[in-house]
Chain A
Amino acid sequence: MGVPTQALFGQLLIGLINGAFYALLSLGLSVIFGLLNIINFTHGAQYMMGAFVAYFLLQWAGLGYWWALLIAPVVVGITGIALERATLKRLYHLDHLYGLLLTFGFALIIQGLFRHEYGSSGLPYSMPRELAGGQNLGFMFLPNYRAWVIVFSLAVCLTTWYVIERTRLGSYLRAATENPALVQAFGINVPRMITLTYGFGVGLAALAGVLAAPIYQVNPLMGADLIIVVFAVVVIGGLGSIMGSIVTGFALGVVEGFTKVFYPEASNTVIFVIMALVLLVRPSGLFGRAS
């Protein structure tokens, strides 16, 4: 093809990085959708909040990246829990579209407030000293931080998958997805499980935000457009499918990266084109069950 291997592997790396974020975000969306049956439109804003909490921790408390990786998901997760308790909870008896509209409203509010306060230009966030530098692999240069993002997010994704698909807690969760009334009758506190699940999904978004901060800077609108791509990823993988989100997330990141090499004009649209094709063949997504 006449494409230098350097460029090819470079884009493969960028694709894997993007794929890691797609996977983390669509995983959170899938977990939330599975139990709450709503598409969490606030997800992009919560991803952005994760990055901002990391920034605040550094500016105000002098706590660095590693603390942020621990604290930001918890803090943002708690705001998510508050949001679910105060508002989302009241909409479960209505058409699920109201949940979509409500979370869309919250996304506008959060992004508007942050934009008012911090403008639209990014704030720099330096990467942890431990992960500076990189490895020369001979055929390409691999920055340590990017390798860390890929490995760490893959680990988080697989752990989540394991917990949901292979543990007792996960079996409660899956059962509640199938039939919440029955699970409630068995004495399991389903409303609390729903709340915690929402908090967990939001926490995953915030975690992705912290991971993204050193790469993309901290920007009030960093999640606004990203989330729409992630919605397409979720549709392709099949809503509610855990492994589907992870696999399609990484795969689409890589496909997008390669498109940048071979046909750059289509790199922004390729995911949406794939989505259209998948819908033609399998309307419920690659890993989704037929509805």
Chain B
Amino acid sequence: MTATANEYVGAAAPAVTGVPIPQVVAFGVMTTILAAAPFLVYPVFLMKALCFALFACAFNLLIGYVGLLSFGHAAFLGAAGYGAAHSAKAWGFPPELAILFGTAVAAALGVVIGALAIRSKGIYFANITLAFAQMVYFFSVQAGFTGGEDGIQSVPRGTLLGVLNLNETLTLYFVVLAIFLAGFLLIYRAIHSPFGQVLKAIRENEPRAVSLGYRAERYKLLAFVLSATFAGLAGATKALVFQLASLTDVHWTMSGEVVLMTLLGGLGTVFGPVVGAFIVMALENYLSQLGAWVTVVQGVIFVVCVLTFRRGVIGELGNLLRKSL
């Protein structure tokens, strides 16, 4: 496989047993930076980037380890956002329950869409997930509770577990950081478990995995639902941070953005999606006054990444250091 590594999307991740030292170091560095960051950088920007980083990690679980490119992950991000926002605002759910409810909505949606989509592969899979996400989008446009074009605005952040007042920015930041780290570690655990090894086996050679007695469809569905759930966790958290659930998060351009973040950071790397999300968010923040140029820059990154930089930032770095990051 080494000779053809990287010929397939997400084929960059070799099998790893135990937790390699470089990854522990990298995790320590990442956590330290993120813990110190709100004192140096605008915290709301960081929270947005953290939500997208978790979103990208969830997406990477599918593309990087199962080799399935979903072009409809916005559906999970957006649906969870609506779930959290609606339950917090209309039903008065406390933040922990609102996030849980939003995540559950995404998971349920993941079961339905996943059951239909995993019957296909490659381009078909991308197309089908895209079409389902578009269905969710049109549903969100028309359903009454989503507020249509306006979205659900001024969602109450509330008090987490009755103790932490989330209206204080720093408190909220560390809660978001905790959610991100929890999601990140859970995804890491899933990838590096026997379950994750089976996923990689399916990615590399599905008929072989089937002949060894693994029910590939079930593994793929479970991976899909996990990915949808974590994307939902990101979306639900984002809705509380911005006190807003809107159509932007369900639109297909959002599905494209998460592909961009993951591709730029490095498909199938552990830290790539996080780095990719921060770079893309920083770029958008920086270019936001330039209107349509944001789209152009995103497009250029796509083209450059695909043509010359397929391993992504972290993939190239890992290759340089001969370490799996």
Contacts and interface: CB of A to CB of B under 8 A. Distances in A.
B303 A87 contact: yes
A130 interface: no
B50 interface: no
B292 A115 contact: yes
Given A39-B123, A101-B306, A232-B134, A112 B299 contact: yes
Contacts of B300: 105, 109
B123 A98 contact: no
Main secondary structure of the interface of A (DSSP, over half): helix
B186 interface: no
Interface stretch (B135-143, B158-166, B272-280): B135-143
A100 B294 contact: no
A269 B127 contact: no
| Count class of interface residues, chain B | 35 or more
B5 interface: no
B301 A269 contact: no
Interface stretch (A72-80, A172-180, A210-218, A272-280): A272-280
B225 interface: no
Interface in B279-312: 291-303, 305-307, 310
Interface residues of A, number: 46
Contact of A91 (B123, B135, B296, B306): B306
Interface of B: 7-9, 69, 116, 119-120, 122-124, 126-128, 130-132, 134-135, 138-139, 141-142, 252, 256, 259, 263, 291-303, 305-307, 310
23 contacts: A87-B303, A87-B307, A91-B306, A91-B307, A94-B7, A94-B8, A94-B310, A95-B8, A96-B122, A97-B122, A97-B123, A108-B299, A108-B302, A110-B299, A112-B298, A113-B292, A115-B291, A232-B131, A239-B123, A273-B135, A276-B116, A279-B119, A279-B128
Given A95-B122, A265-B142, A279-B119, 12 more contacts: A93-B7, A96-B122, A101-B306, A108-B296, A108-B299, A109-B303, A112-B297, A232-B127, A268-B142, A269-B135, A272-B135, A275-B128
